């Protein structure tokens, strides 16, 4: 059965603003809509949160100080969630890995970028807590790897390789605070258009 609402991957190096943007997008979908706006119930799927809650960890990478996720378990779980509600769609999948999800599940891949290295450095070393309650405070190899990944656009390359259909991958800058709202507005407008283009 075709989906009623689009499924979106919101990806990018940790710290680019995926969680903040996803939350803003869900807020937009809940706000009382104008008569011309379609109701699209968007659901935020934070993969970090799911992996932690469900303990989908395979091992711990000492060097990168990070848990390694069991991707098979994760995919089975996400598939169950996505197919729930007869697969009506409307999921915003938020993770720094984008190329493990089957193409048929996904309508749009948004890669957030923070191409200002100083700003990005400050975010990664900040002692603010992440959504899963950890202090980011990256240092050493973990910090360097993530800074390099963002400079070289590693996630954007993976997205473009994973989704050869160019129109399905969009890169958006997330450096300044106003861009959080701008990006959410753009994705929301895209969702509206998608639903109009895919009548039941
Ligand atoms: P991610 O989910 O990609 O790891 P996040 O949403 O947790 O990133 O954001 C990391 C931190 O950076 C958080 O304190 C919010 C802040 N932030 C994200 N995008 C921003 C932007 N465009 N302008 C200013 N701050 C931003």
Q: What is the ipTM of this complex?
A: 0.99
- 20 CA to middle of ligand 1, Å? 6
Residue range 150-186, pLDDT digits in tens:
999 999 999 999 998 888 999 999 999 999 999 999 9
pLDDT at 32: 65
Give dist(CA 66, CA 194) in Å, integer.
36
132 lines ligand 1 (CB under 6 A): no
- 35 CA to middle of ligand 1, Å? 32
N residues, the chain: 200
Contact by Cβ (8 Å): 182, 122: no
Give dist(CA 73, CA 170) in Å, integer.
28
pLDDT at 134: 85
Q: Measured in Å, how far apart are the chain's first and last C-alpha atoms? A: 10
Residues of the chain with pLDDT under 50: none
pLDDT at 131: 86
Residue owning the nearest CA to atom 22 of ligand 1: 174
- 18 CA to middle of ligand 1, Å? 7
- Of the candidates 159, 126, 128, which has an alpha carbon nearest to the alpha carbon of residue 13? 159
CATH number of the 8-114+154-197 domain: 3.40.50.300
- 43 CA to middle of ligand 1, Å? 19
Residue 131 CA: which ligand 1 atom is closest?
7
Residue 23 CA: which ligand 1 atom is closest?
6
Residue owning the nearest CA to atom 19 of ligand 1: 17
Structural domain spans, the chain: 8-114+154-197
pLDDT at 33: 67
Give dist(CA 7, CA 183) in Å, integer.
16
Contact by Cβ (8 Å): 112, 183: yes
- Of the candidates 92, 88, 106, which has an alpha carbon nearest to the alpha carbon of residue 4? 88
């Amino acid at each position: 059965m075709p989906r009623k609402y689009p499924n979106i991957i919101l990806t990018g190096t940790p710290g680019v603003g995926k969680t903040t943007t996803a939350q803003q997008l869900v807020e937009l979908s809940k706000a009382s809509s104008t008569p011309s706006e379609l109701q699209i119930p968007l659901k935020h799927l934070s993969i970090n949160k799911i992996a932690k809650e469900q303990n989908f960890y395979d091992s711990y990478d000492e060097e990168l100080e990070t848990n390694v996720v069991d991707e098979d378990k994760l995919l089975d779980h996400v598939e169950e969630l996505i197919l729930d509600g007869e697969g009506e769609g409307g999921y915003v999948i938020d993770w720094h890995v984008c190329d493990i999800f089957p193409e048929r599940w996904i309508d749009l891949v948004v890669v957030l970028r923070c191409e200002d290295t100083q700003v990005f450095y400050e975010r990664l070393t900040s002692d603010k807590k992440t959504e899963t309650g950890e202090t980011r405070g990256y240092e050493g190899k973990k910090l360097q790897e993530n800074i390099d990944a963002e400079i070289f656009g590693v996630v954007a390359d993976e997205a473009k390789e994973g989704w050869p259909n160019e129109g399905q991958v969009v890169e958006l800058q997330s450096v300044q605070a106003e861009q959080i709202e701008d990006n959410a507005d753009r994705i929301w407008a895209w969702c509206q258009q998608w639903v109009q283009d895919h009548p039941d």
